[in-house]
Structure formats: C-alpha cells, structure tokens
Structure 1
Amino acid sequence: MADWKKNDRIQVIIEDLSETGEGIGKTDGFTWFIKDTVIGDHVEAKAMKVKKNYGFAHLEQIIKPSESRITPLCPVAKQCGGCQLQTMSYEEELRYKERKIYGNITRIGGFQDVPMLPIMGMDEPWRYRNKAQFPWGLDKDGKPVAGFYAGRTHAIIGCEDCLLGVEENREVLGRIKAHMERYHLAPYDESTHKGLIRHTLIRKGFQTGELMVCQVINGNQLPHSEELVKSLLEIPGMTSISLNVNKEQTNVILGNKVENLFGPGYITDYIGSVQYRISPLSFYQVNPVQTKKLYETALEYAGLTGGETVWDLYCGIGTISLFLAQKAKKVYGVEIVPQAIDDARENARLNGIENAEFFVGKAEKVLPEQFEKNQVYADVIVVDPPRKGCDEKCLETIVKMGPKRVVYVSCDSATLARDLKYLAESGYELVRVRGCDMFPWTTHVETVVLMSRVKVNTMF
C-alpha cells in the first residue's frame, strides 16, 4: 500500500458515493473521499487529510467526466450545503439511492434476499418543497442577505430563489429585505447573539395555493410589523403571517412562542382527499407530490379491509393516521409533540374522521401502557420514526403485541436496517421494500417496508 501524505496528487476513478455524497475511489486498495465528483468520473485530486486506510482529497480537475455528469441548474449548487447531487443525472441519482437502501439492508440488517420494488422517482424533480427556512445574515458589503448555509458551516450563501423551493419564496424574501433596509433592522449574528431578524419560514399549500410566512426574531416584537404585513399581503395566496420568538443561543430555528400578525395562524393543504391544517410549528412532509405516493404505498402495504385496529407511531399531525383511517376500523396515533397532536385531532375533525384517536407521549411509553393496562391490541402497526429510528422499548412492545403486519416508513435506511434486523429475529419476515425519492438532488431517501409475522407469537 502506498504511503500517502498531505498535498500528494492522486489520479483515481470514482466507483461509488458515500452516505453524504462524496465520491469514493481507490488507489492500491487505499480509499479516497472526494467531494463534487460523480460515479464514473476519472479525476485528479490533492490529498487534504490522510488516515491509516483512507483519506480525503480536494478535486483539482476532471480528466474524463462520467457519462452521468451534468451541469448543475443552480448557480450556487457547489457552495450551498442544501444539495449534494446536482452534478449527477437524475436517473443515476435514483440508482444510487436504490443501492444505498439495498446496501444498508444487506450489510446492517443482515438480509440476504431483499424483495425490492423500483424506487418511486419524480417526473419533475424541481420546485418540489412546500417549506423553506432561510437564515439571514450580512453580505460582504454589509447588506442583509438570505440563503442557505454552506456545507458543514454556518456561513450563509446568498440564494433567495432556491430551485427546490416555490417561486413565491423570492418575492417574500425581497419584501422582508426591503423592510429591514427601510427600518435598519439588523440580521441575527450567531457569534454575538445580537441582531433581530433570524430565519424566515415560508410554507405553501400545493393544492390550495395558500401561503404562510413566519418570521423568527431575536426579540419580543418586530418594529413596524403592520407595514410588513401590508407588503406581504400583496402576494397572491398569502393566508397566514406570524412572528416566532427565539431568543435562545441555539441552532434550533423555531422558538415555542408564536404571535399571530394576520390570518388564522395556519394554512391548509390536501394529500389525496384528506385535508390537513398546518401551523408554523407543525411537522408536515415537505414534498407533497411524493408524500402522496409514499402514503399510498404504506396504505397498500397495511392491507386494510375495514376491520383492523391500527397503531400509527410517531404520527405527527396525523398525516398517515388519517390516510389509514379511511380503510381501518380504528386508528390510534402517538406523538411526543403536544401541538402536533392538537393539529392531528383538529385534522380528524376537519375531515369528519371519527375512528382516529390520538395520544401525546413517547411511543415507547404510550404503547406498553395501552397494551398492558387497557389490553389495546393491534392488527397492523405503522411506524414513521425520526432519523434515529425506533426506540428498542418500542420495538419490544411491537413484538409483544404481535401485529400481523408492520409497515415501517423511514428517512434513514441505516437505522431502518438495524430495526428490521430486530423484527426479523423476533418472528417477522421482510416482504417488500420500496424507496421513495422525497428529496431529489440530495443524498436523502425515504423507504417504506412491509414486514409480516411468520409464526404466532409464543407469548400468547
């Protein structure tokens, strides 16, 4: 094995991509990670950091580009930390995501045979996000700028028209910037904890056209807020305008206090025929087009005939629960965020759904409580946990309850694979796996999995 050191030049062909989107290539068995490369690229790079068996190198030049290499549409794609894969064709990106899911399920989950269906990609993989959160800062001329953080930093790259977001974002940010300049309102500075204007959260209902703006401030009030409201109301579809107070020194974007400036304090949108009410603090899937495909797949995997009791764990504002309630006898939803549960109950009322009940609390606490104390059982359990996956106590209870089917929706196929392994060792078999590309041009991918109980649970 060659002895590489910092600043050495290397030539390498990129064979794969890492979880975070860096190209992976090998020289004499030594692995290199090189950002901004695509599978199939033949590149020259400069060694930046060298470990025992692997190193990180900086791309110097592309000797021969991959057939999958394309020119990014976004002018700041390279600097911005939002997209990792804009230099790769969309077809290749979908193949990469399928391999990533398959790789994790075989390697971490230990499954030999993975019953994978083709990934659900987008016909139009741009302008798909119904939500954006723009941090504010100062540009090099000392003027307010909104955009996104550069990769692995908190340096703001100016980008007021992100091509993943809706076109109205630019209009909203332009009006907020004019307001800041007119009244000399300073953007927030993380290092000094000074400055008023932190992030701007914008949401749009894709089916309803309703717009929401929530301005996060490092203070209790926004000077001349009525002027800003007047300006924002000139944008078609503007339905809800609010302030969010966040005076903490933290990376968390939203504080807990919301002050309504205009409108009902929420917008509504539809996924399929189900209507949802979305408030500034609600979690709601950011890609409504793909969410519909994802939920329809989850519903299909749940195999409901109208007589089942279903538990939806980590249910948020009840998005999957209400989808399932259309075909189930009874749905129970569990979520730790109280406001999300208020929204879930309101969403059930809004849709005239009476067979859904919601609990506030940790899934790993509520589930055993209801099962052991109240003998509430489950025919089907649906889980859609955060990135860290399911808590082991929660998995334990799922196995104890012994539902016929478990439908697992995941935003991280590594923790998914770990949890599937646990279920497989406890009497469940892997029936179907399908990727859903909710986040084109990034390395993230959603997966929906069906597991079926093989043998009757011995604990009964």
Structure 2
Amino acid sequence: GVARESGASGGGGPAAGGAGVLVHPTLGMDEPWRYRNKAQVPFGEEEGGLVAGFFAKGSHRIVDMESCLIQHENNDEVVAAVKGIARDLGITAYDEATHRGVLRHVVVKYGFATGEIMIVLITNGTEIPRKNEWIQRIREAFPDVLSICQNINSKRTNVIFGDEIKVLWGQSVIHDTIGDVKFAISPRSFYQVNPQQTEVLYRKALEYAQLSGEETVIDAYCGIGTISLFLAQHAKKVYGVEIVPEAIEDARINAELNGITNVEFAVGAAEHILPEWKNQGIRPEVIVVDPPRKGCDEALLETILVMKPERVVYVSCNPATLARDLRVLEDGGYRTMEVQPVDMFPHTVHVECVVGICRDDT
C-alpha cells in the first residue's frame, strides 16, 4: 500500500493512502525472472584470478558470479564470456587500493524487442591491452552484439562511469521499443531496466492522464523522453523538462526516431523551467511527474499549484516521499483519486506507484 505519514507541509494526519483513496492490488509479473535488460558488474582479482560478480555485503570484496536469476540470460552469458576472454588475454582487473589494473566494470545492455546487445568496457585509463583480439573474440561469441564501447574512468571513485566514451566497434547506440515507441539507448543513457513492466506502468499513467488529443501536457522529469513520447501520441502538445543535458539530447533523438513532432524538450530544473513556460502562456491541462527517490522539489509542487492543471499524474518509486508530496497537493486543492502499484523490480522491496490526481473543482 501507500505509506501513511504526516505531511511535510505541517498538515499532520494521515497522508494519501488514508480515507477515500482507492489503492489497487499491485500489478505483478507472470514470470518474475530474467527481466533485467542491463547488467553492470564490477571486476576484481581473487588469489591471482580475475573475478566478476557482486560485492559481498558491507565490503569491497567481489563474489564471483556465473548467473543472476533476475538478469536476462544474454547478459549473464556476455558477462561470463567477457570475463573468460579477459582471463585468457591476461587483462588485469582494477584494484581500488593501488589504483592499478585495467578493467573496472562491464556494462551490458540488451534490447528485449530488438535482440540488440551493447557491451561497455569500463577501464582505468585509455589503454586496453590486446584490444583488437578482445573485440574479435566478443564478436565471434555474440553475433547480436551491435555496439562495443569503452568508458574511461581514471578517478579514485566507486562511481561506475567516467566522462569519456569511445566506440571500439559498431554503433554508438542500440534500440528497444516500449509499446510502439522506439528508443535509442546509449552507453550512459538511463533506460528502464524492466521494459515489460514499464509498458504496464506507462499505460496506467496514460489512462490517468485522460487524454482526448486536445491537451497540453508537461512531463516534469522527462529523462530520455520515455513517458513524454508515450503521451505525445495522444495529446496536442507535450513539453518535457530534465536537468541532465545528455538525457535531453537522447529525448530529441528519440522524438525524431519516431517522427513525433508535437513534443518540445528543455534542459533545466523543472521548478525553474515551468514558471518560464507559464510566463510564455503555456497552460497545461495535465502535468506528469516521475521524480527520483527524494520526491518532487518543493518549489515544483508550489509551481504546480500555481499553474492549476486539471490533472496531475504522479509516478513514484518511493511511497514515503509520494505520501509527503500528495499531502502538499491535497492541501493545495487537489484530490488523490486512485493509486496503482506496479512491481517493476520483482524479488526486491521496491514498488512503483502511478497516482491519478485531479483538481477539486474539476
């Protein structure tokens, strides 16, 4: 269900999930295994041998792993092959303590709808020993690999990606589809890891948006345009805003890829861009928010209350901040109609919720 906690606005009392809010049963997966389309696996050395897997709990020691039951089989196979080839070629793993060694992580991305595979080798420094042999052997092992990239991360950090990306072989992107919208996925772009449940989630968001084709919609945390492009097929105009410039570049590419022309994307914080749009005379009937775990920025919620859209659709990955934010919207004249939890990450504690919210006077 939705977390009950008193609102951050000082209203007190139970927040959403209290009286009168319809919380539907969670939409799960029929087959809750092998659903992840992205693997990111750290490398290390154990007793002289190269290992790749997960960190032991509360440590930096890597437990070697051959398979993970929530990863797509292809990802497991690619990680195992990259590890085997690296061992054969004598490639060293990065050592956090000494800041030496080559291979830090491998990231594998798989397009469920297209079968396309991208492999990103994350290295300490620019040099990859026996690079051409490595590429050749990966290609022989996996004919569906369309992109082999290198990401260079020479910092003393546990952040996975560095700033510089090189295409070692093939394309700079692979593609996947959610519903009938096609997406280009680059090495660093954020893309939902469970495409099957993402479609369930977005269809519910679309239903709560109640679009007739005449509406102006704002997507306040649009990322690479996933929800924006879904909504644009049913709206008059969609405006998307996102603080990450690379994501907006991807969003524009994705709009073009699908021939969707009634979307406009802007880089910046939603709470800064929305007032600018309001001053330009943009009046949205619907605002969609899909914030990170910390929830919506307080200034954004205030802006929503000033813009007075007829409906708000809130996609949340954290029930606690969702309850806090719904309290603010309810105190500002909105009513929470219904909540649909979706199990996006089976076998974890996380749940996403789509919430339909309307203005009290509509």
Deviation at 1:195, TM superposition (A): 1.7
Deviation at 1:104, TM superposition (A): 5.7
Tell me, yes or no, if structure 1 residue 453 matches structure 2 residue 359: yes
Tell me, yes or no, if structure 1 residue 336 matches structure 2 residue 248: no
Q: Structure 2 matches for 1:302-313, cutoff 5 A?
A: 302-313=209-220
Tell me, yes or no, if structure 1 residue 416 matches structure 2 residue 325: no
Q: Structure 2 matches for 1:221-370, cutoff 5 A?
A: 221-234=127-140, 235-370=142-277
1-structure distance, mates of 2:281, 2:133 = 56
Deviation at 1:202, TM superposition (A): 0.4
- Contact 2:216–2:286, Cα closer than 8 Å, also in 1: yes
1-structure distance, mates of 2:303, 2:324 = 16
Structure 1 range deviating more: 108-117 or 428-437: 108-117
- Contact 1:317–1:340, Cα closer than 8 Å, also in 2: yes
Partner of 2:42: 135
Partner of 1:178: 84
Deviation at 1:383, TM superposition (A): 0.6
1-structure distance, mates of 2:304, 2:348 = 32
Give the alignment's Cα RMSD to 1 decimal.
1.6
Choose from 219, 238, 241 the match for 2:125. Answer: 219
SS at match of 2:300: helix
SS at match of 1:119: coil
1:338-366 superposed Cα distances (whole Å, 9 cap, x missing partner):
11111111111111101011001111111
2-structure distance, mates of 1:208, 1:331 = 27
Given the superposition, is the C-alpha separation of residues 104 and 197 from structure 1 closer, same or farther in structure 2, using an over 3 Å criterion?
Answer: farther
1-structure distance, mates of 2:88, 2:151 = 21
SS at match of 2:31: coil
Partner of 1:93: none
SS at match of 1:265: coil
Partner of 2:68: 162
SS at match of 2:24: strand
- TM superposition outliers: structure 1 runs of 4+ over 3 Å: 102-111
Higher-Rg member (1/2): 1
SS at match of 1:393: helix
Deviation at 1:107, TM superposition (A): 5.0
Deviation at 1:103, TM superposition (A): 4.4
Identity %: 53
Q: TM-score by structure 1 length?
A: 0.75
Given the superposition, is the C-alpha separation of residues 304 and 419 from structure 1 closer, same or farther in structure 2, using an over 3 Å criterion?
Answer: same
Tell me, yes or no, if structure 1 residue 200 matches structure 2 residue 101: no
Deviation at 1:126, TM superposition (A): 0.2
2-structure distance, mates of 1:205, 1:152 = 32
- Contact 1:408–1:450, Cα closer than 8 Å, also in 2: yes
- Contact 2:75–2:110, Cα closer than 8 Å, also in 1: no
Unaligned residue ranges in structure 2 (runs of 5+): 7-12
1:8-64 superposed Cα distances (whole Å, 9 cap, x missing partner):
xxxxxxxxxxxxxxxxxxxxxxxxxxxxxxxxxxxxxxxxxxxxxxxxxxxxxxxxx
1:241-283 superposed Cα distances (whole Å, 9 cap, x missing partner):
1000111122211112110011221110000111011101111
Partner of 2:26: 119
Given the superposition, is the C-alpha separation of residues 152 and 397 from structure 1 closer, same or farther in structure 2, using an over 3 Å criterion?
Answer: farther
Query: What amino acid sits opposite 2:157 in the alignment?
Result: T
1-structure distance, mates of 2:126, 2:14 = 51
Given the superposition, is the C-alpha separation of residues 191 and 341 from structure 1 closer, same or farther in structure 2, using an over 3 Å criterion?
Answer: same
Given the superposition, is the C-alpha separation of residues 299 and 110 from structure 1 closer, same or farther in structure 2, using an over 3 Å criterion?
Answer: closer
Structure number with higher relative contact order (C-alpha < 8 Å, ≥ 6 residues apart): 2
Given the superposition, is the C-alpha separation of residues 166 and 308 from structure 1 closer, same or farther in structure 2, using an over 3 Å criterion?
Answer: same
- Contact 1:175–1:228, Cα closer than 8 Å, also in 2: no
SS at match of 2:26: strand
